Amino acid sequence: MKIIQIDVFAKHLPMVSGYNMSSSTVGDPDTTVVALRTDAKLTGWGEICPTGPLPQVEHAGSIRADLDLLGPALIGTDPLRIGLIHDVMAATMDGGQGARSAVDIACWDLLGKYHNERVCDLLGGARMDPVSTYHVVPIGSPDGSAQLAEQLQEQGHTKLQLKSGGRHIDEDIDAVHAVANVIRPGVDLFVDCNRGWTVGEAIQVSRACRDLKFDMEQPCATYAECATARTHLHHPLVLDESATDLATIARAISTGVADGFGMKLTRIGGISGMRAVRDLCEASNTPTSCDDSWGGDIIASACVHVGATLTPRLSRGAWISAPYQAGHYDEEHGPRIVNGMIAVPPGPGLGINIPEGLFGPPIASFS
């Protein structure tokens, strides 16, 4: 099979409800969709959608500039040889993990369509279907956050992520207490600061909440700061934004800096990169999630397919942004959360159908 044309599309994803983190508020993210068209008349779809210029290092403009470099280099290559596709991309540019990830996801979609297999089956098979997810409790008042946490548990959610940071830590401490006090047996709580605390603040929060059960996710801005805080914390430390590549993840595990990971598929090289993280975490008995920053049904489906293959007891869940979005690409088969779980789309590849013309004319096309 050969790639004969690559189309790049841009689409705003309107939101139905707010979503805030310590560093930014998400508002109508701008997604980039990649279509790999082949001489076999099959099209593979990939996607990457940062929440905005914050909090990740890539944004829509940088990703599209990267695709301008990668697109011409990929014409004529075989998308089923995904390792070789990564070689071509690595030989074209340094960096650009987001754009490379979108191409990787499209290749896996093609591989599945070509072999009439679901992506999760090509990855070894679904260990969970439906896949557990976690739900975010945005930054808010202690009472409001606790009320939402109760509602979400009522709906069947067994993993909750409380956002924190970006305000005085006394407010965070109050909110953590309020939410932790309504957490039911069997439900896991993560407190995700999205890099919002200093080392000292992370330690103070952990001490003030030392009798409460939760994991502390990415409390500080850098790997070094998290590593410094780690030895003083009373809570397991989960790395997200600082888990930038496989070598860093291996180091964080082997040095005891990280007790788990919040992983973004398009930060680590797409489905191929996340498969490696999955295997490393399984080998080292380390929990991980399988998420992405944001995105439509393409990225959601990729997260759910890989998330289904995680070892269940080490899974921190697959996360999708579908509940916050006003519209979807595939209303019938796109991944949706039902009772705190997400069913894996049934069809080959990513398992979703993208109608031609859905995204309007391409913003770039290579052939």
**Cα 118 from Cα 107, distance rounded (Å):** 13
# residues contacting Mg ion (CB under 5 A): 4
Nearer to Mg ion, 129 or 188 (CB): 188
Question: Binding mask 199-228 vs Mg ion (x if CB under 5 A, - otherwise)?
Answer: ------------------x-----------
Contact predicate 89/96, CB 8 Å: yes
Nearer to Mg ion, 217 or 330 (CB): 217
User: Does residue 163 have an active-site annotation?
Assistant: yes
Q: How far is the CB of 224 from Mg ion (least distance, A)?
A: 18
Residue range at the interface with Mg ion (CB under 5 A); choices 125-133, 134-142, 173-181, 236-244: 236-244
CA angle 350, 249, 291 (to 5 degrees): 30
Q: How far is the CB of 163 from Mg ion (least distance, A)?
A: 9
CA angle 234, 293, 185 (to 5 degrees): 40
Nearer to Mg ion, 11 or 264 (CB): 264
Nearer to Mg ion, 1 or 322 (CB): 322
Which tokens go with 112?
Answer: 């599945």
Element (H, E) at 110: helix 97-115
Question: Which of 11, 113, 159, 163 is the catalytic position?
Answer: 163
DSSP 320-338: --GGGBS--S-TTTS--EE
Q: How far is the CB of 217 from Mg ion (least distance, A)?
A: 5
Residue range at the interface with Mg ion (CB under 5 A); choices 36-44, 118-126, 233-241, 268-276: 233-241
CA angle 242, 102, 192 (to 5 degrees): 30
Contact predicate 163/319, CB 8 Å: no
Among 109, 215, 240, 330, contact with Mg ion (rule: CB under 5 A): 240
Binding flag, residue 292, Mg ion (CB under 5 A): no
Among 192, 201, 292, 330, contact with Mg ion (rule: CB under 5 A): 192
Q: How far is the CB of 174 from Mg ion (least distance, A)?
A: 21
Contact predicate 356/147, CB 8 Å: no
Residue range at the interface with Mg ion (CB under 5 A); choices 78-86, 87-95, 191-199, 248-256: 191-199
Binding flag, residue 262, Mg ion (CB under 5 A): yes
Q: How far is the CB of 239 from Mg ion (least distance, A)?
A: 9
Residue range at the interface with Mg ion (CB under 5 A); choices 31-39, 86-94, 170-178, 235-243: 235-243
Question: Which of 11, 113, 159, 264 is the catalytic position?
Answer: 264
Nearer to Mg ion, 66 or 240 (CB): 240
Which tokens go with 274?
Answer: 């996340």
**Cα 365 from Cα 2, distance rounded (Å):** 16
Nearer to Mg ion, 118 or 316 (CB): 316
Neighbours of 102 (CB within 10 A): 32
User: Does residue 159 have an active-site annotation?
Assistant: no
Which tokens go with 193?
Answer: 């600061």
**Cα 170 from Cα 1, distance rounded (Å):** 58
- Using CB positions, name the residue nearest to Mg ion: 240
Contact predicate 103/69, CB 8 Å: no
Q: How far is the CB of 160 from Mg ion (least distance, A)?
A: 13
**Cα 126 from Cα 129, distance rounded (Å):** 6
Q: What is the DSSP letter of 312?
A: G
**Cα 243 from Cα 252, distance rounded (Å):** 8
Q: Which residues, in sequence order, are CB contacts of 152 under 8 Å at separation 6+?
A: 135, 137, 160, 340
Residue range at the interface with Mg ion (CB under 5 A); choices 17-25, 63-71, 80-88, 240-248: 240-248
Q: How far is the CB of 262 from Mg ion (least distance, A)?
A: 4
Q: Which residues bind Mg ion (CB under 5 A)?
A: 192, 217, 240, 262
Q: Which residues are catalytic?
A: 163, 264
